[in-house]
Structure 1
Amino acid sequence: MKPVTVFGPDFPFAYDDWISHPSGIGSLPASALGSKVAIIGSGAAGVIAGYELMKLGLQPILFESGQFGGRLRSQPFEGVEGVIAELGGMRFPVSSTGFYHYVNLLGLESAPFPNPLTPAAGSTVIDLLGKTHYAKTLADLPPLFSEVAHAYATALEEGANFGALKQAIRHRDIPRIKEIWDPLVKAWDERTFYDFVASSEAFQKLSFHHREVFGQVGFGTGGWDSDFPNSMLEILRVNVTECDDHQRYIIGGVEQVPRKLWTHCPEKIAHWPSATSLAGLNGGATRSGASRIRRKSETTIEVTDKWGRADDFEAVLVTCQSHLLSTQIDTEETLFSQDLWMALDRTRFMQSAKTFVMVDRPFWKDKDPETGRDIMSMTLTDRMTRGTYLFDNGPDKPSVICLSYSWMTDALKVLPLPTDKRVELALSALNKIYPTLDIRSHILGDPITVSWEADENFLGAFKGALPGHYRYNHRMFGHFMQQNMPPEQQGIFIAGDGVSWTPAWVEGAVQTSLNAVSGIIHHFGGSSHADNPSPRDAYHAYGPVTLLN
């Protein structure tokens, strides 16, 4: 059976095939070779775009105001090698085939993520309304949870023709995808995820408590309540492309992907010597953060870093969080249309907090002598911790517990608190679930925590589109198609998971970076190969449906 991939549904284009095609993704005229392109941000979108542009013979210059890697951030614990906390992206569905192209290129290894009710987790505890349930599979839980799972599956089928849409994506049947998806856009753009659930016939047959359980812990996969205000379209995309299924983590930390791509020398490269890398073209380090962007001439855009160094570029790619263009970077207003500014500024970002501790060993695998069960499990709860994940690094290394992974209101509860207070709150909540377990006695070193909304370079974890935001997303996603824009708006591109249709998933960053690459190829007078059309070549035929104003 063919796998489900993130092939659309808004723009069903085979990015994985495009970047792996033996003919390459395109070529540039000799006059463009060596031209400088500014890339603002060194996350997945920025580094991948830089890598592909370098292979074409351009000179990408990266600007970074914070930490290299963006939200692919793997922070090591002190005093031990290879034990990390994944502060940003940490689970990567196998449907993200564009992302895994680069993972495989770099020779990195992955393993199943210890999600609830999966073999990788071993066991799961669901603690809800003061009652605790131990399970290894969904079948081990009370019938209520299976009823919730069945109701949601039924709602998807009845409300979104889910099975047929997934089958079309699996077979990359573009006409069929558009036939099913485009009417769903018109029907659900202005309606919330909660509206979809609550108004479905499947859930109306059940109690409010079933919806409450779905919001707090899902049907054993994790709570959905933080997404209830979001546009249902956003959730449908995640579900139908299996972004919430078959997830893996990168052994040694996902930050290796941008860092290793930064120093990787591609086998095939135009213009530059064979041993060229992004690091080499940048003198070994990124520039400091961009502080100003303005048009210098009809063909050049000036980017100034925070120390006042200004350089001219023939193209600019902005991959940072969109709000930084109006809060942190002095961006000349005429570089973007007012319609696009509206989309960039109205983009809504969700809060997220994580707290990690390093422990001496994977003690949770010890068995309770009375019950024979694991003494601790991957834990879903309605308490402040919400999700607690257990990472076993093997018998010879300390292990890691993500004590708390929370969103929105739950993340805001701990926003002003110092790290130690966050740990104490998490341990207090877990003590109510595991009253005889002394987690503290296993903790080593200092804990690690993050609140993405408190970071001036991010202002939130990722985009969460509200009802009515489809048009905004369409403007941002399609911005790489610049042929009909006035000259003063051409040459500056945007990318990142916040520009994509699938925020929070690295595949969205990959796909929008590749869109920008195809736009930049055209901007410099280049073209794709006849046997390997680019996103730009396919956009008019297969692009997102346009909603009337």
Structure 2
Amino acid sequence: MTLPPLTAFGPDFTFAHDDWLAHPAGLGAVPKDVLGTEVAVIGAGASGVIAAYELMKIGLKPVIYEASRFGGRLRSESFDGTGFEGSPPVIAEMGGMRFPASSAGFYHYLDLMGLTTKPFPNPLTSAAGSTVIDLEGETVFARDLKELPALYQEIATAYAQALDGGAAFTELQNAIRAKDAARVKSLWNPLVAAWDERTFYDFVTSSDAFQSLSFRHREVFGQVGFGTGGWDSDFPNSMLEILRVNLLGFDDDQRYVVGGVESVLRRLWHAAPPCTYWPEGTSLGSLHRGATRSRVMKISRSNRNGPLLVTDQWGNEAAYEAVLVTCQSHLLTTAIEVDEELFAQPLWMALDRTRYMQAAKTFVMVDRPFWNDVDPKTGRPVMSMTLTDRITRGTYFFDNGPDQPGVICLSYAWMTDALKLLPLSDEKRVDLALKALGKIYPEVDIASHIRGVPKCISWEADENFLGAFKGALPGHYRYNHRVYSHFMQDDMPVEQRGIFLAGDSVSWTPAWVEGAVQTGLNAVWGIVAHLGGACHAANPGPGDLYAEQGPVALSG
């Protein structure tokens, strides 16, 4: 029997956002006297722009505020001197760069905007061509897992067995494929209680599959991991976070967006879909007269029954019946003055306890994809996608054609490895990466191929982010439950209603854009309900099914 394709269905909230999006009845409607009502959207990233696009279609007027750069962590930067006279730009993806095919909600918008994708050159995939693993000065070359030494096969087998033995992985993933909500919940909910307070590392070391293996196996597993590369930076995280990534296929069948992923949001900004209330040709761009509002400095309320007041950096204050906040949660206590009464104290605790992981990337443009040159001594490519315990950690190659400039992500590092680079200049980061790669490929002169200036980022150094993405620690499930369920507001005091949360800080699957999409769509439902609207009976929305399909609540 052929199984349905894997999508990000649950496992915490078993609602098919992709089916809701695809239904011809649309996402909902508001009363006629509410049409045209302005709704503030704070943040022009994936969650904010997609929510604004859907609110516009329903007949509301989203007003987007952006503190810095349109796109959020979908940030595609063109190398200088490219993209002129009809030639495509050469892109460095500074934020999200690989998008699993199971992200059905996000791919809905990619397809809608006419964008194309290609397989991402992850280690040991055909898109990478070949992979080099360099650990403790020992280098291994392979084109797929079967070519690696037995130790790597043992690790892969042990992890698969650990997942099946400790999490009923195959059965649970099959239920997710089938979108069998009852079965998913019956298998997943007990895991939440069992694994919330245990780390990823604990799951690995306590599993029967790894008990008979050596520390070396666990060490290599941390450095090389599975799918996209090393996972030791995630060892302290809650195992629930890792299970979700595995179950939803986020580490498999990943693709990148041709022309840069930021283009999906820019196209949504200019798109003119059929809209209730708004005239033909209306777009987010036209509603904003071409530009978003500026940085938000304050969110307040003049009285408990009154509208929400949003003040920008220039002192402009506007009143809104609803406000959607999609920025990182830390900004609500560090960068934006927010009336304390707008959130319950347990929610403030959850927002403040949100933990972000650090991430650093270093990109260079090169004259051509020279890594495809064949070494006459070995018959192999002169360079390969590289995983290493050196400071570069992960090195990826992007081929734009044999006679076109290529791109190398010289280094993609997380947590402590990212912090090592934090105070360094772009040139110093490139220099360190070249020295590290020079020890793996001593006969390759990478520097001779570099053109232009490098593109580097440390997300934790950006005042508008203060980190790359959320990484839940053991015991954080209750916090995540509080922020995720915030769009369900019927039982809240009136002074706390009307302000909604979405984005990576709210998602169950941080670091993956699908979570930002789904939480943005949840907020769309919440805003429509808050304004007296509802979904069509034939296409119930997330809030309509939340009571029976929402996340399990842990006691205490």
Q: Same fold (TM over 0.5)?
A: yes
Q: How does 1:210-359 map to 2 (within 5 A)?
A: 210-219=217-226, 221-266=228-273, 268-297=274-303, 298-359=305-366
Residue identity opposite 1:49 in structure 2: A
2:386 equivalent in structure 1: 379
Give the alignment partner of residue 398 of structure 1, picking from 375, 400, 405. 405
- For 1:214, what is the secondary structure of its paired residue? helix
Contact 2:328 2:504 in 1 (8 A): no
Helix, strand or coil: the match of 2:252?
Answer: coil
- In 1: Cα distance, 2:403 partner to 2:547 partner: 55
2:86 maps to what in 1?
A: none
Report the secondary structure of 2:554's partner residue.
Answer: coil
Cα distance in 2 for partners of 1:120, 1:299 equals 55
Write the distance in 2 (CA, Å) between the matches of 1:299 and 1:149: 57
Q: Is the CA contact (8 Å cut-off) linking 1:213 and 1:219 kept in structure 2?
A: no
Aligned to 2:455: 448
What residue identity is the alignment partner of 1:544?
P
What are the residue-to-residue correspondences of 1:129-208 with 2, within 5 Å?
129-208=136-215
* RMSD (CA atoms): 0.7
- Equivalent pair of 1:145/1:219 in contact (CA under 8 Å): no
SS at match of 1:235: helix
Aligned partner of 2:417 among 383, 393, 410: 410
Contact 1:301/1:313 (8 A) holds in 2 = yes
Instruction: Please tell me whether the aligned partners of residues 452 and 459 of structure 1 are also in contact (alpha carbons under 8 angstroms).
Output: yes
Aligned to 2:127: 120
What SS does the aligned partner of 2:172 have?
A: helix
After superposition, the C-alpha distances for 1:241-300 in whole angstroms (9 at most, x for unaligned) are 00000000000000001111011101x210000110011111110001100000134141
Letter in 2 for 1:37: V
- Residue 220 of structure 1 and its aligned partner are, at CA, apart by 6.5
Q: Which residue in the other structure is 1:507 paired with? A: 514
Q: How many residues align?
A: 548
Instruction: Select between 293-302 and 85-94 the one with higher mean Cα deviation.
Output: 293-302
For the Cα contact (< 8 Å) 2:227–2:252, is it kept in 1? no
Give 1:395 deviation, angstroms: 2.4
Structure 1: gaps spanning 5 or more residues: none
- Name 1:53's counterpart in structure 2: 55
Supply the distance in 2 between the matched residues of 1:285 and 1:333 (Cα, whole angstroms): 30
Q: Distance in 1 between matches of 2:424 and 2:531?
A: 49
Q: Which residue does 1:67 correspond to in 2? A: 69
Whichever residue aligns with residue 93 of structure 1, its letter is P
The C-alpha deviation readout for 1:462-501, integer Å capped at 9, x for no partner, is 0000000000000000000000000000000000022010
Is contact 1:148-1:219 (8 Å) kept? no
Q: Deviations over 1:385-409 (max 9, x none)?
A: 0000000011242000000000000
Task: Tell me, yes or no, if the aligned pair for 1:166 and 1:241 is still in contact at 8 Å.
Answer: yes
Q: Does the Cα contact within 8 Å between 1:296 and 1:312 map onto a contact in 2?
A: no
Alignment of structure 1 residues 23-62 onto 2, 5 Å: 23-62=25-64
Residue by residue, what CA displacement relative to the aligned partner does 1:343-397 show, whole Å, maximum 9, x if unpaired?
Answer: 0000000000000000000000000001110000000001000000000011242
- Residue 31 of structure 1, CA deviation: 1.0
Q: Is the 8 A contact 2:227 2:251 kept in 1?
A: no
Q: State the alpha-carbon separation in 1 of the partners of residues 35 and 237 from structure 2.
A: 44
- Structure 2 unmatched ranges of 5 or more: 84-88
2:11 counterpart residue number: 9
| Cα distance in 2, alignment partners of residues 533 and 48 from structure 1 | 19
Q: Secondary structure at the match of 1:288?
A: coil
Q: Deviations over 1:205-226 (max 9, x none)?
A: 1000000000011157411100
> What is the CA–CA distance in structure 2 between the aligned matches of 1:113 and 1:299, rounded to whole Å?
49
SS at match of 1:78: coil
Map Cα deviations across residues 215-241 of structure 1 (whole Å, 9 max, x no partner).
Answer: 011157411100000000000000000
Q: Any idea what SS the aligned residue of 1:287 has?
A: coil
Residues 220 and 435 of structure 1: CA distance in aligned 2, closer, same or farther (over 3 Å)? farther
Between the aligned partners of 1:295 and 1:283, the Cα distance in structure 2 is 27
String of CA shifts for 1:492-530, please: whole Å, max 9, x gaps.
000002201000000000000000000001001001000
Where 2:13 maps in the other structure, the secondary structure is coil
Moved more, 59-68 or 392-401: 392-401
CA contact (8 A) 1:121 1:378 kept: yes
The structure 1 segments of at least 4 consecutive aligned residues displaced by more than 3 Å after TM superposition are none
Q: Spell out, residue by residue over 1:409-468, the C-alpha distance to the aligned partner (whole angstroms, 9 max, x if none).
A: 000000000000000000000000000000000000000100000000000000000000
Shift of residue 20 of structure 1?
1.3
Superimposed CA distance per residue, residues 128-156 of structure 1 (whole angstroms, 9 cap, x where no aligned partner): 11100010000111000010000100000
Instruction: Verify: 1:477 aligned to 2:484, yes or no.
Output: yes
Matches within 5 A, 1:76-115: 76-81=78-83, 82-115=89-122
What CA distance in whole angstroms lies between the structure 2 residues aligned with 1:462 and 1:299?
34
CA distance in 2, matches of 1:390, 1:38: 40
Report the AA paired with residue 57 of structure 2: K
Paired with 2:477 and 2:469, the residues of 1 have a C-alpha distance of 16
Shift of 1:66: 1.0
